[in-house]
Amino acid sequence: MLSRTAEGLFWLGRYMERADNLARLIEAGRRFDLTGAHIETESNEWAAILIAAGCSNTFEKDPEEATGAEACHHLILDPENPSSVQACFAAARANARAQRGSITTDVWAAANDAWADTRLFSERDYAPRNLASTVDQIRQYAARMRGAVEGTMLRDERYQFMRLGQFIERADATSRLVDVKYHVLMPEDHPVGSGVDQLHWNNLLLAAGARSAYRWVYREQVQVRLVIDFLLLNRRNPRSLRHCLDQIQAELGNLHGDGAHSNGSLTHASALREDMTRTDVDFILGQGLHEYLTEMIVRSNKLAISIGSDFGFGPILSETTQEQSQ
């Protein structure tokens, strides 16, 4: 398989997942707005959401001053945002088109339809009365693409690179999502563990699409320690960091089985996963949640880069052409 094809499929998987995660973040913001938490704490959750979406640099002003409408505009269709929902579906579709020969008609149709419909999004679509259905729509497009991949792609290298992209992206998104809490300033009179704090964690679970699952697993009220355990360490939660790393390691094992340019990504992935299996909530809180998450984000990034060098993403010069160009 061409390295460029692998790279395109990897990014197709990433963008598809990114659009889905954006929808979840917007949903979390929408609920923050509705639960009145922002009035009680005088904090701005949309700022945290913009930061979690990695948009603090593309957003035109200080995220702390963002209104819901401005944040949604930026996250859904702002042309200045290369990771808006529209941009993600456009990029997913561009990769699908470039790799049309490597994906099934179902995957192509799902990517093409998602692009064709979302590119017509306008201000109307994030107006308060339409926002919920817009979020649903985005998630349905992402779900259809995911379903098409799962249901129709041969379990070969093509599938494995899409899965790698998907789980690298999801690991990153889950880390950022949990980190949102760090960016929501807690006022002095609402200490950790207060009702507002509880509400925040509850919404985070919702944003991860995991509130019922949490109840199912722990059969308890929302507790900080359990939420951290669930979102980061629980192997059965498909959005947990641990689950993502399990999947990444498995796919990398499959891919490396038939040879590669180098094996840096295997080493990175094993080390990351090894560390996770030995970690517990006490350790994470001891290190500081934000510090722990920051480190995980950096390490997953390195992992993504080493996947690129292992399989020849980007231009690689052969030895002779390198000599010639020197």
Partner 1 sequence: MFNEMISQSGTRPEYAQIERWIAEEGVEALMTRRSEAEALFRKVGITFAVYGEGGDPERLIPFDMIPRIFTAKEWDIVERGCIQRCKALNAFMSDVYGPREILKAGIVPPELVDNNPAFEKVMMGLTPPKDVWAHISGVDIVRTGPEDFYVLEDNCRTPSGVSYMLETREVMMRMFPTLFHNGMVRPIDDYPEMLADAMASVAPPMCDSAPTLAILTPGYFNSAYYEHSFLADRMGVELVEGQDLYVENDRVWMRTIRGPERVDVIYRRIDDAFIDPTVFNPESVLGVPGLMEAYRNGGVTIVNAPGTGVADDKATYVFVPDMIRFYLGEEPILKNVPTWRCSEKDDCAYVIDNIADLVVKEVHGSGGYGMLIGPKSTKAEQELFVDKLKKNPEGFIAQPTLSLSSSPVLVDEGLAPRHVDLRPFVISGTEVKLVPGGLTRVALQEGSLVVNSSQGGGVKDTWVLKPGAGGIHA
Burial letters 133-143, b for 16+ CB under 10 A, else e = ebbebbbebbe
DSSP one-letter code for 186: P
Shortest gap between Cβ of 325 and partner 1 (angstroms)?
10
Residue 31 or residue 97: which is nearer to partner 1 going by CB?
Answer: 97
With a CB cutoff of 8 Å and minimum separation 6, the contacts of 71 are 29, 46, 49, 50, 59, 63
DSSP 63: G
101 lies in the site for partner 1, by CB under 8 A: yes
Q: Is 109 in the site for partner 1 (CB under 8 A)?
A: yes
From 59-67, 188-196, 258-266, 292-300, span contacting partner 1 (CB under 8 A): 258-266
| Contact call for residue 117 and partner 1 (CB under 8 A) | no
Of 108 and 126, nearer to partner 1 (C-beta) is 108
Within 214-253, the residues that bind partner 1 by CB under 8 A are: none
Assess contact for 86 and 119: CB atoms under 8 A: yes
4 or 211: CB nearest partner 1? 4
Q: Are 48 and 201 in contact (CB under 8 A)?
A: no
Q: Is 160 helix (H, G, I), strand (E, B) or coil?
A: helix
The 3-class secondary structure across 12-45, one letter per residue, is: HHHHHHHHHHHHHHHHHHHHHHHHCHHHHHCCCH
The verdict on 277 binding partner 1 (CB under 8 A) reads: no
CB of 169 closer than 8 Å to CB of 18: yes
Q: Return the residue of 34, 65, 82, 105 that touches partner 1, per CB under 8 A.
A: 105
* Cβ 4 to partner 1 shortest distance, Å: 5
Helix (H) or strand (E) holding 88: helix 85-98
Taking each helix axis as running N to C, give the angle between helix 68-76 and helix 45-52, from 0 to 180 degrees, rounded to the nearest 10: 10
Shortest reach from residue 118's CB to partner 1, in Å? 15
Question: What torsion do the CA atoms of 111, 117, 120, 123 make, to the nearest 10 degrees?
Answer: -110
Cα torsion for 51, 53, 57, 62, to the nearest 10°?
-40
Residues in binding contact with partner 1, number by CB under 8 A: 28
Q: Is 264 one of the binding residues for partner 1 (CB under 8 A)?
A: no
Distance CA 101, CA 82 (A): 26
DSSP 8-state class, residue 1 = -
Q: Shortest Cβ distance from residue 285 to partner 1 (Å)?
A: 40
Report if residue 79 touches partner 1, rule: CB under 8 A: no
CB of 108 to partner 1, least distance (A): 6
Told to check if 321 binds partner 1 by CB under 8 A, we report yes
Does the footprint of partner 1 cover residue 57 (CB under 8 A)? no
Q: Of 61, 278, 282, 320, which lies in the binding site for partner 1, with binding defined by CB under 8 A?
A: 320
326 binding partner 1? (CB under 8 A): no
Q: Is 312 in the site for partner 1 (CB under 8 A)?
A: yes
Scan residues 153-182 and list those touching partner 1 (CB under 8 A). 157
Binding site for partner 1 (CB under 8 A): 1-4, 6, 94, 97-98, 100-101, 105, 108-109, 112, 157, 255, 258-261, 311-312, 315-318, 320-321
